[in-house]
Amino acid sequence: MTFEDLNIIAPITQALKQKGYVEPTPIQEKAIPHLLKGSDVFGTAQTGTGKTAAFAIPILQKLYNQQADRRSAGIRALVLAPTRELAIQISESFSDYSKGLRLKHTVVYGGVSQNPQTDILRKGIDILIATPGRLLDLMNQGFIRLNTIEFFILDEADRMLDMGFAPDIKRIIAKLPAQKQTGFFTATIPDEIKSLADSLLRNPVKVNVAPVSAPAELVNQSVYFVEKADKKAMLQQVFDSEEIESALIFTRTKHGADKVTRDLIKLGIPAVAIHGNKSQNARQKALQGFKDRSIKVLVATDIASRGIDVDKLSHVINFELPEVPETYVHRIGRTGRAGESGTAISFCASEERGSLKDINKLLPRAIEVKRMNGFVASSHTALDMVAAERPERENTHNRHARPNNVKRPFQRKRW
């Protein structure tokens, strides 16, 4: 199937071809026709499946086709995103797809001066991409009114709630017109998401293109057991042994991200950290350097795990495993996108084995355990390796298969 088969207008299909997009992804194929028809859509899709285009293309096409019938000035479409990085990337996608359409859009987010943003708003726009906090600020100051909104997109809804934006979202929704078309996109569906979707959507078409929290199929996943004190040396060994074109490294803390970045720079590897303590300008500069390949490695905390969209990212490295299993899926979803293969490498120290066990329970199959010469968890046994490779859930039917009088070959030890 091609985008022409979805009845996408020529200016947009031409813009897509310039980006190298010919065939729609599954979520695009399923969501675009319903959004073009005017239906509300509840989309469940993991990160990296192309959902930005799934809502951007129909919004642009419908606004373009309705320009002659426009009765009043005002913002016609609102896209709400949880992070500044994601908002910027959505704005870039609208720029890519809207060439020649004579539709104006802008993006507003906090952490920078509002003056350039309000200058653009005064001139009039059709499409607004925003983060909740800055949007409410500008609404309270009278720079933005939402009474003319025809299309509303809530992107990364579960991430919004994780970040505590539920009250802000409800205040924003209260200012939207009752008559509008809504797209609701999320990677996971906890009860709070179901409740929010039920209050917002009208007879929505449900689009689910992948099992909830399923990792990208084209990502080659592996884990190394290594003590915390040896992770720095292990990271160097990975860079020496792997053909790494570009890598996104995840740490649990901002301090950890800065430390890993310093260590990489000492090794002569161009790297930069991105996290909440960095200024917006520094974060944008880092992302741009990563995208244009002047920076080989980006070290990030989880706030960036769903907000970084880089073509042909070869490696994701979990320097530290996340505490929430679903976060692992979102992290590794940064690679193996749009039909490309990718590699996800994780380091697991003694104190992280519980996290690894929880992650393996979430996955269709356990992460492959690999060994690096010279590195081993201090008291890690062969039985630990077997347990990591074969989670209990896969062996429950065989739990009592060993006769009671047959001893195990060795005693399970603590790491």
Break the chain into its structural domains and give their ranges: 4-208, 219-398
Q: What is the pLDDT of residues 180-201, one digit of tens each?
A: 999 999 887 878 889 999 999 9
Q: pLDDT at position 72, please? A: 66
Contacts of residue 136, Cβ cutoff 8 Å, sequence gap at least 6: 168, 171, 172
pLDDT category at 312 given cuts 50, 70, 90 is confident
Q: What is the pLDDT of residues 117-172, one digit of tens each?
A: 999 999 999 999 999 999 999 999 999 999 999 999 999 898 888 778 999 999 99
Q: What is the pLDDT of residues 398-415, one digit of tens each?
A: 333 333 333 333 333 333
Strand order in the sheet with 247-250: 271-274, 297-300, 247-250, 315-318, 342-348, 219-225, 368-370
How many degrees, rounded to 5, is the angle at CA 10 between CA 7 and CA 12? 90
pLDDT category at 215 given cuts 50, 70, 90 is low
The Cα-based distances of 106 to 91, 119, 122, 252 in angstroms read: 7, 11, 11, 32
Q: What is the pLDDT of residues 260-269, one digit of tens each?
A: 999 999 999 9
Q: What is the pLDDT of residues 102-125, one digit of tens each?
A: 999 999 999 899 999 999 999 999
Q: What's the mean per-residue pLDDT of the chain? A: 84
Q: Is 248 helix (H, G, I), strand (E, B) or coil?
A: strand
CATH of 219-398, one of 3.40.190.10, 3.30.70.380, 1.10.3720.10, 3.40.50.300: 3.40.50.300
d(C-alpha 243, C-alpha 342), whole Å: 12
Q: Is 162 helix (H, G, I), strand (E, B) or coil?
A: helix
Domain 4-208: CATH architecture, name and number where available? 3-Layer(aba) Sandwich (3.40)
Do residues 20 and 26 make contact, with C-beta atoms less than 8 angstroms apart?
Answer: no
Burial of 389 (0-12, 13-18, 19+ CB in 10 A): middle
Do residues 317 and 194 make contact, with C-beta atoms less than 8 angstroms apart?
Answer: no
Distance from the Cα of residue 393 to its chain's centroid? 28
The domains spanning 4-208 and 219-398 adopt the same CATH topology: yes
